[in-house]
Amino acid sequence: AEITYKDLLDENPGNATIRVELIKLYLSQRRFEEVVQQTLLSLKNLNPASQSQLLADVSAAWSAAGQQDIAERIQKEAGKGN
């Protein structure tokens, strides 16, 4: 699945839906650095309501995984882009 998502993103790097699916895959595999990278890339292509939802979902997943510091990092990095 990862290769498929990456191939699709190579063809259409602005497709936030594909990027979100890749984030979900990385979360399920506990590949946290990749989640941070892909989340920040996704935020550039989402409207404000979708940005808020993505941040909430990813932050909740980080917190549930015992990675609150990374959830805070994503929030902080996302704030820099606004």
How many Å is the Cα radius of gyration of the chain?
12
Residues 9/22, Cβ–Cβ less than 8 Å: yes
Which percentage of the chain shows pLDDT scores above 90? 20
pLDDT band per the 50, 70, 90 thresholds, residue 82: low
- Residue 46 above 70 pLDDT? yes
pLDDT band per the 50, 70, 90 thresholds, residue 3: very high
Which percentage of the chain shows pLDDT scores above 70? 96
pLDDT band per the 50, 70, 90 thresholds, residue 66: confident
Among candidates 72, 46, 76, which has minimal Cα distance to 59? 72
